[in-house]
Structure 1
């Protein structure tokens, strides 16, 4: 059984996907871009600002699903430039306590809409 998650506090899904899906006690978010809930793309902002927005979107989606950042089990961060890792990581760290989730961070050739970061998460519910 799969349930669909939707919140107005994160950008709308524009394509063949949903903001998140839930199965049993796990929440799987879609990759979140640095885009406001109103649709403003922050692609020209520094990576720390982009990271903050993407993680704010993750937070909103997880909360709508009955979870939260403290329940995140695994996060994947896609960067268009691995040299921006330190800046991303500083902002990323502010969203988690000392029991941070497992994480992968990888450099990719391109991200949707020319952004510098996309982030997805799996969380307990």
Structure 2
């Protein structure tokens, strides 16, 4: 049985981030890829989709923006936050862990109460540095596209 793969491109200033639209050496990626019933969301940071700028310099705000973008990408792919079963969170500095987790909980309580009640599997890594020096956190996830309702 062959798997179906659907890719959801990354756009900045309305331009898809792929060659020849980006300079050599610039990262190119899809915001999400769907394989069969699994959605793989690329790492989301506090970088604006509109112009590539970083939105803020605090962990709380950067985490909120990254989670908001993750939610948006999941919905564009046909899924939702409540379908997330795995997250991978990279921190520039592990000292930000408590603020990151508190922000994550508050976000899930507001937008995905089931995740607040029954969290996804999660891995945390202190990356030391992320794609740009101003980024404090990056989060990626895996979710099912559709799930059976009880």
Do both share a fold (TM > 0.5)? yes
- RMSD value, Cα: 2.1
Aligned partners of 2:69, 2:48: CA distance in 1, in Å?
A: 8
1:70 is matched with 82
Does structure 1 residue 56 correspond to structure 2 residue 59?
Answer: no
2:88–2:122 Cα contact (<8 Å) kept = yes
Paired residues, number:
123
Q: Are the structure 2 counterparts of residues 68 and 7 from structure 1 closer, same or farther at C-alpha, using a change threshold of 3 Å? A: farther
Does structure 1 residue 107 correspond to structure 2 residue 133?
Answer: no
Does structure 1 residue 31 correspond to structure 2 residue 43?
Answer: yes
Q: Which secondary structure does the structure 2 equivalent of 1:45 belong to?
A: coil
Q: Which has the larger radius of gyration?
A: 2
RCO greater where, 1 or 2, for CA within 8 Å and sep 6 or more?
1
1:118 is matched with 138
CA deviation vs aligned residue, 1:69-95 (integer Å, no higher than 9, x gap): 110010010001001001111111123
Aligned partners of 1:37, 1:94: CA distance in 2, in Å?
A: 23
TM superposition shift of 1:40: 2.5
- Could you tell me the TM-score, scaled by structure 1's length? 0.88
Q: Which secondary structure does the structure 2 equivalent of 1:54 belong to?
A: helix
Unaligned runs of 5+ in 2: 18-25, 146-150
Unaligned runs of 5+ in 1: none
